[in-house]
Amino acid sequence: MTVETSFPVIETERLLLRKAVQEDAADMLRYLSDEEVVRHMGLNPFNSLQDVYGELDWYREIFQVGTGIRWAISLKGSGIMIGSCGFLNRKPNHFRAEIGYELSREYWGEGIASEALQAIISYGFDHLNLERIEALIEPSNAPSIKLAERQGFIREGLLRHYEYTCGKFDDLYMYSLLKMDWRSKEIKTSADNTKKDI
């Protein structure tokens, strides 16, 4: 298993994806205490900074043992953490990982989640040697379904009562994106951009 030693920072046009630190706890509590934000995450709304410290411990643990990585999402020029994104349940021997994200409600609808996911998908295929990226999405989570499909994820099926969270069993759609599909999408996007420039 390849274990990262220094935390990678990713820059996009508008975003800085970086390590989440204890100083981010108040920002995290602000959005993780929002029932609308955590509704499809299998979590109850956070009530205290202690809840957030537990989340930060999990971010650190999955990075240290190599089973995942979670970036803080912040706007360039602002230190404020407005969400997170990354990989979990990474299985290096099978070249796959699961993708996940959440975003503060005040930033919904601005293309930020899409911009962040594009960056980490590229990172996963280019630097983590992933062949397959999975997304497990509740059927009622229409915005995340739309976002995944825009990135090229394919729905493979329904996992019935796959998780037990917040006192209930959840069905989840299994979506996947393969490296070859992503490369084809990148080539097509590059070709389309070249045509626009001509």
- Residue partners of 41: CB distance under 8 A and separation at least 6: 100, 102
Closest CA to 139 of 102, 96, 117, 169: 169
Selected residue with higher pLDDT from 87 and 193: 87
- Model confidence at 1, pLDDT cuts 50, 70, 90, reads very low
The fraction of the chain above a pLDDT of 90, given in percent, is 76
- The answer to whether 115 touches 107, Cβ cutoff 8 Å, is no
Which whole number is the average pLDDT over 46-67?
95
- C-alpha 103/C-alpha 7 separation (Å) is 21
pLDDT at 2 over 80: no
Using DSSP bridges, classify how beta strands 154-165 and 168-178 pair: parallel, antiparallel or unpaired: antiparallel
Q: Is 195 exposed, middle or buried (0-12, 13-18, 19+ CB in 10 A)?
A: exposed
- Model confidence at 5, pLDDT cuts 50, 70, 90, reads low
Domain annotation for the chain: domains and CATH numbers? 10-136 (3.40.630.30)
Which whole number is the average pLDDT over 93-119?
96
Residue bearing tokens 């809840």: 51
At 163 the pLDDT is 87
- The answer to whether 121 touches 178, Cβ cutoff 8 Å, is no
